[in-house]
Amino acid sequence: MNLRTGFYILLAALGLTGLFSCLGGADDIDYIISTDAQLTSFSLSSDSLAVLATAKFSIDQANSLIYNHDSLPYLTDTAKIASQAIVKYTAGSGASPGIRLEYLDGDTTWIASGDSMRLAPVFELQLYAPSGTSKTYTVHFNIHQTDPDSVQYHEITDILVIETPDWATFAKDCPDTLEVVTGLGFLRPDEQKGLTLIVKDKDEFRFAFSEDLVEYQLGEEIPEDFPQTGFSILNDRNFAGRLTVIANLQSVWATEDGLYWTNLFGTETELPIIEGGNAFFYNGEIWFLNGKIRDGGYNPKIYFSIDGGRVWREKPEKMQPPSAFPLRMDAAVVTDADGKYFYIVGGRNQAGALNDVWKAALNSKLFDH
């Protein structure tokens, strides 16, 4: 044995001695026992309740609560799926792979991730850590208690200021040769581009446009089938950059400059001729309410169109105004900046002028989640 070889043998021996000294005997080993009894994820699925597959469950560790933040649809019946729900979960580090499930009726069982279970509106899950500590979660299902597709209507006493054109004042500023017959609305109101009008120029009825109500540009002569009264206006903030007129629920006209109007199309739905109604954008659709049916009574229905006014359908009864709402024509309807509420203001009916204000909204727009 040379000196170098002997040195390596000695070094190895010293290393082994040190290793056994550090480890000590088996009885001296310290084990770390996990006290983590938390859930880190939770999900449910069921072939008989497909909405569960997309339900996202939140875990509130501070309050030991598991819940779906976005409520399940209205009238969801969790009892339908009985024992067919599949539970999946992830437990904290070292937590027991099995969970004790306790129903409010006293029934208990042990479940592992991937097991099927009986679904109940409220139940508890108890997790056990190897240390013997445990944590109990309450599982709660949020389900919408009101129909999201119904509309709430309330008469309000708050003052709602709506600026409407005073056409009589405008007429005073007209050149001597012109007479304002009616206003058709503001063109590009966000840019303050001015007003579109129907005027009488000598013996001809013509379209006109004015930016300052002093100087007027005259447009084409009014077509025979263009509505001069009883129409509803949609401004360009919502409708493809144009000022649009819904003509008594029978046809749709539009302009980009106020001087020339195009009859886009006639409606393809057989509907009564309704004058003095209100067309407005709401919930991604054009809604139409109020007005007086020609040769009939006041319109009690809400119609809607998803294609710009070509085809109209009736909204279901749950969206119609309540019996306490006085039917009317020539009202004003506006929506708020968030598109959540719409307001019906004033108008008139057989009793005369109305000064009330009604606030309405789809329930789905009022849900927090």
Domain ranges (residues) in the chain: 39-140, 151-162+227-365
Which of 365, 324, 310 is CA-nearest to residue 342?
Answer: 365
Q: What is 231-286 written as a DSSP string?
A: -EEE-TTTTTTSEEEEETTTEEEEESSSS--EEEEE-SS----EES-EEEEETTEE
Cα angle: 264, vertex 267, 271; to 5 degrees: 150
pLDDT tens column, 166-210: 555 555 566 666 788 888 887 765 565 788 889 888 889 999 988
316 three-state secondary structure: coil
Which of 110, 120, 57, 40 is CA-nearest to residue 85?
Answer: 120
- What mean pLDDT is predicted for residues 271-285? 92
- What mean pLDDT is predicted for residues 342-349? 93
- Does the pLDDT at position 110 exceed 60? yes
What kind and span of H or E run contains 17?
helix 3-23
Dist. CA 231–CA 186, nearest whole Å: 15
Q: What is the mean pLDDT of the chain?
A: 80
Q: How confident is the model at residue 351 (pLDDT cuts 50, 70, 90)?
A: very high
- Does the pLDDT at position 35 exceed 50? yes
Rounded alpha-carbon distances, angstroms, from residue 274 to 76, 108, 246, 251, 329 = 39, 63, 10, 11, 9
Count Cβ atoms within 10 A of the Cβ of residue 243 and give its class: 0-12 exposed, 13-18 middle, 19 or more buried.
buried
**For residue 181, what are its two tokens?**
């017959």
What kind and span of H or E run contains 343?
strand 342-349
Residues constituting the chain: 369
> CA gyration radius for the chain?
36
- What mean pLDDT is predicted for residues 119-127? 81
Dist. CA 127–CA 101, nearest whole Å: 9
Which of 246, 225, 254 is CA-nearest to residue 310?
Answer: 246
Rounded alpha-carbon distances, angstroms, from residue 195 to 185, 188, 209, 234, 243 = 6, 9, 6, 14, 10
Residue 265 forms beta bridges with which residues? 252
- Does the pLDDT at position 87 exceed 50? yes
Q: What percent of the chain has pLDDT over 70?
A: 78
Dist. CA 255–CA 219, nearest whole Å: 11
**Which pLDDT score, from 0 to 100, does residue 320 have?**
94
pLDDT tens column, 211-233: 877 788 999 999 988 988 888 88
**Which pLDDT score, from 0 to 100, does residue 73 have?**
81
81-95, 256-270, 287-301: lowest mean pLDDT where?
81-95
Which range is most confident: 4-8, 111-115, 240-244, 284-288? 284-288
What one-character DSSP code corresponds to residue 18? H
**Which pLDDT score, from 0 to 100, does residue 27 have?**
57
pLDDT tens column, 51-83: 888 889 999 999 999 998 887 887 777 665 555
CATH code of the region 151-162+227-365: 2.120.10.80
**Which pLDDT score, from 0 to 100, does residue 71 have?**
79
**Which pLDDT score, from 0 to 100, does residue 8 have?**
31
- Residue type for position 171: A
| CA 196, chain centre distance (Å) | 33
